[in-house]
Chain A
């Protein structure tokens, strides 16, 4: 493949994705959006893993991406079920309203 973009481009892109996800995790208070930011971070890590896998000529990174996708899908399913259960109790999905231990 004719590609004059270097692996560093892909790595910097993946770091940007992780950084954006981290920022979203910090500044959003809606737990749904925090979960989405987590997904974004996992995606960034997937890009980095796949880049290293491609550069190193080794499929292990690709297989790890596969496993990360599996774990992320399961995590989202359980997380959203927990969120629905929490919403039934608290009637809110904002992380501010979950300060049971605060006072």
Chain B
């Protein structure tokens, strides 16, 4: 049990516990706060997996932009706790819990069945090799450098990055149109 292991367990507990508290917390604002804890925990796990760029992106995009947007909407709509409303019956909650457990067990069974073909059992983490040619000879090798991300995005994933750029544009235009006041829509109802 070394320090890195300790960090793994700390952040694993942080991310899973944050997720659990998020699911079961009454008030949406506290749920969002627990969600931030969970997202930061996942970002730290990305650091442990030596993907520093993605960890930074996780903090900036998820814990920063997305959760600020969530909190902004929660406060804009003034959503209170659900406690006053009819609560979900214990029967339904039990059914849903069983469904989620089935999902987990199914995934674990699939993992168990494909255990040999995954070749995970050597329990070693391969050493990162920083090849000089940018890895052009062996596809895209795993690397901690941001430049290899850029290389991959600009060569092999040229079309996907353009499509995702267009998707962001479409999302932006869609949000603007959705949030615009349309007097024509009033007489429809």
* Docked complex Cα distance between A55 and B127 (Å): 9
* CB nearest to B21 among chain A residues: A20
Is B142 a contact of A80 with CB atoms below 8 Å?
no
Q: How large is the interface on B (under 10, 10 to 19, 20 to 34, 35 or more residues)?
A: 35 or more
Chain B interface residues (CB < 8 Å from chain A)? 1-2, 4-5, 8, 12, 15-16, 19-20, 22-23, 28, 31-32, 35, 38-39, 42, 45-46, 48-51, 54, 57-58, 61-62, 65-66, 69-70, 73-74, 76-77, 79, 82, 85-86, 88, 92-93, 96-97, 99-101, 103-104, 107-108, 111, 120, 123, 125-126, 128-129, 135, 139-143, 148-149, 152-153, 156-157, 160-161, 164, 167-168, 171-172, 174-175, 178-179, 189
Is A58 a contact of B139 with CB atoms below 8 Å?
yes
The residues of A that contact B156 with a CB separation of less than 8 Å are 60, 63
Is A33 a contact of B28 with CB atoms below 8 Å?
yes
A31 nearest CB across to chain B (Å): 10
Most buried by B among A7, A21, A47: A7
Chain A interface residues (CB < 8 Å from chain B)? 1-13, 15-24, 26-30, 32-33, 35-37, 39-40, 43, 46-47, 50-51, 53-60, 62-63, 65-67, 69-78, 80-85, 87, 89, 93-94, 96
